[in-house]
Each structure stands twice: as C-alpha cells, then as structure tokens.
Structure 1
Amino acid sequence: MILDVALLVLLWGATLIRVPTLWRDQRQRALWAAVCAIALAKTMSFGPVAERVAVPILPHLLGVTSAYFLLRFIALVTHTGVRARQLTLLVSVLGALVVLDVIAGGIDTEAELLAGDQGWSVVAYWVLLEAYLGTVLVTASVLFWRVSGEARSLLPRFGLRVTAAGTGLVACYAAVKGGLILAHNLGAHIAFSTVEPIGRTVQTSGLILTIAGLLVPATRRARAAYAAYRSLLVLRPLWKAMRDAFPEVILFTPRRAVIELAGVDDVHLRLYRRVIEIRDGMLALRPYAAPHGPSPDEEAVAIVEALQRRAATTPLATPGSWAPVGPTMADEVAWLSRVSRGLAGPSRTPTPSGSAR
C-alpha cells in the first residue's frame, strides 16, 4: 500500500510538473500523455478507487493508451513508424480487449481468481494485453539505454539509464505474467497467491524507476529556471524604474508575458529580455548620469539622480558612463542584480508584487 501511494504521488507529481512541456513540441506532448495515462490507470487500480469504480478493465485500457503514447514518443524521437498504423493498432487492441472481456463475462485481476479455471477468452485477453505492453516497453528500454550513451553529461545519462531499467522491469513483469497465465491454462500449477504480489511489487518498482529517471534530467532545468525567475524578481526594481521612465524600451506587452509563463524555457528568454530592456533604458538615461564610483550601490545612486535630472529635463554637459560589464549574460545579470538591490534599498529583498515580467 505504501509503495502504491508513493507511485501515485510520483506519477501525478510528474504529470503536473511536465504540464509546461505541452507548449514545447510533439515529443514532449506524447511523453506527457503517456505519463498522464499511466497515472490515471494506477489511480483506477488503486484499492479504494477500484472498489468504487468497479470496472477492472478500465486500468488496462488506460495502460494500453499510455503504451500507445510512449510508442508515439519513440516514433517521434527516432523518426520511425507511421502514426496511422500505430493508431490502428491501438484501436484494434482496445477493441479486442473489450470484446474478450465481454465474452469472458468480466476479467478478474485478483490472485485467487487468476488461479481458478479460466477459459481461452481470458487467456487471450491477458496474452494480448501483456504482449502489447511488453513489446512497447522493451522498445522503450532499448531506446532510452541507447540514447543515454549519447548524453554529454552524467546526470541525463544516469536518468535515462534509470528509466531504461524501470521500463525493462515492467516489461519483464508483463512477459512473465502473460506466460504464467498461459501456462496455467495449459495445466501447469501456478501459485498466483504467491507470485502475483511479488509481480505487482516488481511492476510498481519499475514504474517508480521509470518516472524517477524521467525526472532526473529535469532537476537541473528546474534549478536553472528557479534561479532565472529569482533573478527576474531581483531585477524588477531596476527594470520598473527604466520602464516607467522609458516605456518604449519594453519589447513585448505584459499580456504576452503572461502567456509565456506556460513555458519552462521562456523564463530564460524573459530574463534575457529584461536585461536588454534595462540596458536600453540606461542607455537612454546616460545624458543625465553624473560620473560615479565603480560599486553597484554608487551606480544605483547615480541612476536615481539621473532619473531626477531627466524628470527636471536638466541633462549634464559632460555626463558620466555606466560601469562596463561582461562578457557573458551571467555577468550582466549578476551586476544588474546588485545594482537593483541597491536601488531597492540595502535591507529590502524584492518580492513578487505585480507581474514578475
């Protein structure tokens, strides 16, 4: 039960975390759909939920749907496979499962019921289900392991290999379960009450590894996105001063920025744009800037005084210049952040009041 709850938390967490990737490309949408479908499947098969829903076939249909989206992801990554054929196969498998379920009078998933007498319709149901899932999962394992060798850094390589191991475990579970049900119907004695709990633990562990592996490469992106968003907030006082003085430096409207909040990568674009807007404003303010010292606090004071002179329309005959910074964007962000803190006050940390754009 604890392992099942942990899996559900991980699945739904991954589903929510990956929502911004829906705006990126087809591959990310296919992968998100696969994770979401398996999250729904495991939720429907979770004890308390399964008792209330009482439709044992539903988690299987969702599992097949998840495998289809995983297959679409693989096809988009490898540029192989025809979508129409994959969709036709999905519909065929789903239709066959529904028909076999009706013929069998309902498919039982409890270990005690699996150990009973089963007709060939039940065997065909399980073999078809596990064969489809197992084939897709083996294909996914091979892909993730092969791609991991091409990863340039350790963290993505580790995550992809953990994912490959997880999908491999689930594939093994599917293959073994389908084989045992077939063997039982051929007359072999199978202790499902012993085997099935072990198998479910293997399946759950494999899914946890799969989702955890998929999230590993995202942790670095999440840290970078958090740092970029924090920089947006820190730069806000300086940016707001330039925006209020020179509205024309704003590259896009706030409405456009709200739309861009949906993208993971867009926070870096917004930070880059904010630096450009600040620099454009400071360039326009330069005729009013007096010579000043090289520290961020002194530059902040110079900016305040320059804004006052501009408001009074009193440019300087021999203006000063702003501190040279560079050569990288990180250097710009670091310096302007210190200036912005000086502009906001030495003891005040910027807070997300209004738009962080």
Structure 2
Amino acid sequence: MFALIEYAVLAALWGTTLLLVPSALRGKRRLLFWFMVAFAVTMSLITDGPYAFVDGLLGGVDLTYFVFHATAIICVALFDCLIQTAVSKDGLTSTRKRFALWGVTGLILVQAALFFTSGWKIDNIQFIGPGNWSQLVYSFTTWIALIVLAISTMVACSTDYKRQSDTTLKTALVIIFAGCAVVSLYVVIQMGVAINRASGGTHVSVIVDSISVACPLLAPVLLSVGLGLRLLVGVSRSLSDAGRSRRLLWKVTPLWERLLADRPELSIEAPTSRLALCFRGSHALHLHRRYVEVRDCLLLHPDQSLSAREVKLIQRIEQHIRQASDASRGTTNDSRTDEYQNA
C-alpha cells in the first residue's frame, strides 16, 4: 500500500514538473522548473525501487547515496531562491545568488570528501550503523540545511500571508507552510534516529517509524499543491489580463488610427492591421503605447471631437492600466506574471 502511494506521489511530482516545461522553454518560471526537477529527483531517490535502479546503473557501489544528498542540497538552494524571489521586494539579488552557489558548492565538496574517503557499508539510504559518526556528520549537512530552509520558508509564508488579500493565495501559503512543517518534523525524527543508531541503539518505536514513512509522502504532496496553486493563480491572472488587453487594443485601434492619420510623427508604433495585431504578443505594451499616443494627440490638438463611447473607452483603458500597475506593486514577485512585465 505504501509503495503504491509512493509511486503515486512521484507520478504527481514528475507530472507537475512536465507541465512547467513549456513555460521554461519560453524563458518563464525557469527557477520553479529547475526546483521541481531537483525536488522530483530527490524524492524519487528516497524510494527503494528508483534508488536500487539508479544505483545499479551507477555500478552498484552506493554512489546513489551521494547523488541523493547532493540533489537534496541543490533542491534546498533552489527552493530558498524561489522563496526569496517570491517574498523579497528586490527579488533574487546577485548576493543571494552567489551565497546559494558557493553554499551549495561548499556543502557538496564536504559531502564528497566524507563519502569518498570513508568505507561505509550502506544497506539502504537511511542506514547509519553504530559508530558511523562520519556518516552521521555527512547526513547532518543535508538535514540541517533542510530544517533551516523549512523554518525560513515558514517565516516567509507567514510574512507574505499578512500582505495578501487573495483567498486562493492565502490558502496556497497555508499549504506550503504545512508542507514545510512536515519536512521539519521528518528531519528532526531522522536526526534523532541517526544519533540513536550511531550510539549503538537498535530499537525504533512503531510510531516514529510510521511518521518517518508518512512524512516523505505527505510533504511533497503539500508543497506541490501549494506551489501549483500559486502558479495557477499567476497563470489565471496573466490570461485574464492578456484577454482584456487584447480586447481593449482591438477597440482603441480605430480611434488611434483616426487621430494619428495626419500626425504620424506622434507615433512610434509600426502600421499593423488589427487582425495581425491580435496574433502578435505584447498586447499590453501595444495597448499602453496607443493609449499614450491617443492622449498626447488629444493634448496637442484639443479640438479633436470624441464620441461618448470613445471617451468611455479611454477611461476603461486608463483604469485597466492603473489596476495592472497597482496589482504589480501589491503582489509578490512570483505572482507578477501580467503582460506589462513580460512585455
């Protein structure tokens, strides 16, 4: 039963990762995509079946044990960058990038030194035998990074929760918070079990063992759902804004063409048919340009006559641009997916 749940979780993880491929190929959400790749690989190697399969491909010398911890460290760094991008006003700074890069490199080098200079006998990925203190230190480099990240993410989610007004986004933050709490619980239990084994202990209670099995199943589900929900909100907003920009652009184009027909010097827009314009990208950018050029023309030539419908259209465009700008300033970075920023 547990094996079935494990493979269902892995299928959900890899499915979510594959859904991000089109966005990554278009140059969007690449950080989220690479995190999901690292996360899916790490969670796959926790499972006995994939672990044994990969280890067989690598020669059956437990090199997969090292690969698992290395991908876990990479996963931690990517997730930290993802969270900082989401909650920081300045986004992911160059200092944060360098810190993540050198931190990951340093930890993996420490792990490599411990792994390749020790003659561990690893029966499975979670085994630490009596007196294996070097292996304990090796595992702690990953676990401490995980728990620090989990706590940092929970604090970030709590801070972001207070700033959000959207119920769906708040729900996503609560789910991510719960996923990090489960990760923290799992890490604490694993650290305790590892210390007990290294000290010569052999007994693990049924409750602790059950929680150790349940946490790796529950945590990725919660984190995937939470992150997926945030992504869904961003995509839905992007599609809604793009659709409205496209409709307003279609409606304002005749007015723009009429006002600037005798004043081409006021425009930086290339002449394009309305039909061709609808199939081009950057609708928000073209809408903003044509709105500004219409207003400039009206300011320079106030004698131009406008119908009540055209006046109302200009007001609707102005309101749309203002709302998009306010939404951009009022949401976190990973929610800023409207066309004004992608243009």
| Match of residue 115 from structure 2 | 101
What letter corresponds to residue 4 of structure 1 in structure 2? L
Mapped partners of 1:69, 1:58: distance in 2: 16
**1:206 corresponds to 2:194:** no
Partner of residue 325, structure 1: 312
Identify the match of residue 106 of structure 2 among 92, 96, 107. Answer: 92
**Superimposed CA distance per residue, residues 38-96 of structure 1 (whole angstroms, 9 cap, x where no aligned partner):** 23434565644861454412232122012123334556628899645554432221111
**Alpha-carbon contact 1:107-1:122 (below 8 Å) kept:** no
Q: Paired residues, what number?
A: 289
Structure 1 residue 6 displacement after superposition: 1.4
1:98 is displaced (CA, Å) by 1.3
**TM value normalised by structure 2:** 0.63
1:224 to 1:73, Cα distance in 2 relative to 1, 3 A: closer
**Deviation of residue 183 (structure 1)?**
0.8
Conservation of the 8 A alpha-carbon contact between 1:115 and 1:191: no
Q: Distance in 2 between matches of 1:191 and 1:332?
A: 61
Structure 2 distance, partners of 1:89, 1:4, is: 28
Counterpart of 1:161 (choices 174, 182, 192) is: 174
Rounded Cα–Cα distance in structure 1 between residues aligned with 2:26 and 2:121: 37
Aligned partner of 2:202 in structure 1 is 189
- Seen in structure 2, the aligned counterparts of structure 1 residues 14 and 166 have a Cα distance that, compared at 3 Å, is farther
Opposite residue 100 of structure 1, the aligned amino acid is: L
Per-residue CA deviations over 1:137-179 (Å, capped at 9, x if unaligned) read 2222122123212323322222222212112211221221122
**Once the 2 structures are TM-superposed, how far is the Cα of residue 330 of structure 1 from its aligned partner?**
8.3
Alignment counterpart, residue 73 of structure 2, candidates 64, 72, 78: 64
Alignment of 1:138-177 (within 5 A): 138-177=151-190
Give the C-alpha shift of residue 13 in structure 1.
3.2
Q: Relative to 1, partners in 2 of residues 1:139 and 1:225: Cα closer, same or farther, differing over 3 Å? A: closer
RMSD over aligned CA atoms reads 4.8
Measure the CA separation in 2 of the matches of 1:151 and 1:206. 24
Larger RCO (alpha carbons 8 Å, 6+ apart):
2
Cα contact 1:4–1:204 (8 A) shared by 2: no
For residues 180-202 of structure 1, what are the alpha-carbon distances to aligned partners after superposition, in whole Å with 9 as ceiling and x for unaligned?
Answer: 11211212224499966753431
Deviations 1:13-41, CA, capped at 9 Å, x for gaps: 3575577685xxxxx77666544432343
Distance 1:78 1:331 in 2: 25
Offset from partner CA, 1:198-232 (integer Å, 9 cap, x none): 53431232122223223333433322322333446
Structure 2 unaligned residues grouped into runs of 5+? 1-6, 272-276, 298-304, 322-342
Query: Between Structure 1 and Structure 2, whose CA radius of gyration is higher?
Result: 1
- Counterpart CA distance in 2 for 1:192 and 1:270 is 65
Identity of aligned residues (%): 16
Give 2:53's aligned residue.
Answer: 51
Contact 2:23 2:30 in 1 (8 A): no
Following the alignment from structure 1 to structure 2, what is the Cα–Cα distance between the partners of residues 322 and 64?
61
SS in 2 for 1:135: helix
Residues in 1 aligned to 2:268 and 2:120: alpha-carbon distance in whole angstroms: 61
Which piece of structure 1 moves more, 72-81 or 151-160?
72-81
Instruction: Show CA shifts across 1:332-354 (max 9, x none).
Output: 89xxxxxxxxxxxxxxxxxxxxx
Residue in 1 that maps onto 2:8 = 2
